[in-house]
Amino acid sequence: MPKPKSAVPIQYKYRMSRPALQMEFHSHPTYEIYYFHEGRCNYLIGDKIFVLQPGDLILMNGMTLHCPNVDSKYPYVRTTLHFEPSHVRGLMQPFQSFDVLQPFRELGNHRLHLKGEEREEVEALLERLDRLRNYGDPISQNRFQLAFLDLLQVIYRLCQQPLEAGPEFPSEKERHVQEMIAFVERNYHEDLHLEQLENRFHLSKYYLAKIFKDVTGVTLFKYIYQRRINQAKIMFLLDKRLTVTDVCFQVGFKHLAHFSRTFKEQVGCTPEQYRKTLLQASAEHTNDS
């Protein structure tokens, strides 16, 4: 496994419109701002499904497992901005500041559906960020940082408005899948079977398997394995004392070989290699301190 690279404080990609490929569930240690310009997409984040409309802006805690399921018959145009929370705290120090990170912490993974002037303001800021980033000179880079702070404060203001009572879904199918994901989120470490879901939701297991794939783009059991592996990565990161065997059984795998094989398929290295790399990085950080 390659040595981890130092984090870039802000990573900005404006109006990406490449043909939509099937994306895997993934996570990252940064916060993310995701803006949906055009297309058809169900975005699955943790135990929530967002049926997106143009003008939707999502605040995302990147450590939550997430993946878009895109209808490839339509253009898929989106803007993403990943950033380190510690970088924002440093930028905000000179100002009479609000806690612009509060919405990311307290709302979790939250969607804002922007219309009218609010949408125009956010889209203008996104375009300005792209223009300043492309100039590349030091003054433009400073202005990029200021425009980024402006965007965060606009989002902070929008998040003060009363939130709607609950998620809305265009059909019963999306609602059922949302409930299935919530069930998996609570029980991913258990020995799960389709029969449990059939008894829980009083619907045919074949129907449940079909609608899950239709809405999310992956099979139910692939999602369960991805959820378990993502949790394993978090556990290795948070507690260096845990062994591979400890993590294997705690996230719901019955056999160590199955865990190692699935981990390597998803992460690109074995859990032993992943854990070793984290331990080495931690030791290097301690030595540098």
What CATH number belongs to 10-158? 2.60.120.280
| pLDDT 10s digits, 173-212 | 888 998 898 889 889 999 999 999 999 888 999 999 999 9
Q: What is the mean pLDDT of the chain?
A: 87
pLDDT at 7 > cutoff 90: no
Q: Which CATH fold topology does 172-285 show?
A: Arc Repressor Mutant, subunit A (1.10.10)
pTM greater than the 0.75 cutoff: no
- For 93-114, b/e burial (b = at least 16 CB within 10 A) is eeeeeeebbebbeeeebbbbbb
Give the pLDDT of residue 288: 59
Does pLDDT of 122 surpass 90?
A: yes
- Domain residue spans of the chain: 10-158, 172-285
Q: Per residue in 21-80, pLDDT tens?
A: 556 777 787 899 999 999 999 998 887 889 999 999 999 987 788 889 898 899 999 999
**What pLDDT is recorded for position 91?**
86
Q: Is the pLDDT of residue 289 over 80?
A: no
Cα–Cα distance, 89 to 134 (Å, whole number): 24
Is a pLDDT exceeding 50 seen at residue 163?
Answer: no
pLDDT at 2: 39
Tell me what pLDDT residue 8 has.
Answer: 53
Report the run of H or E that residue 73 belongs to, with start and end.
none
Q: What is the DSSP string of 258-280?
A: HHHHHHHHHHSS-HHHHHHHHHH
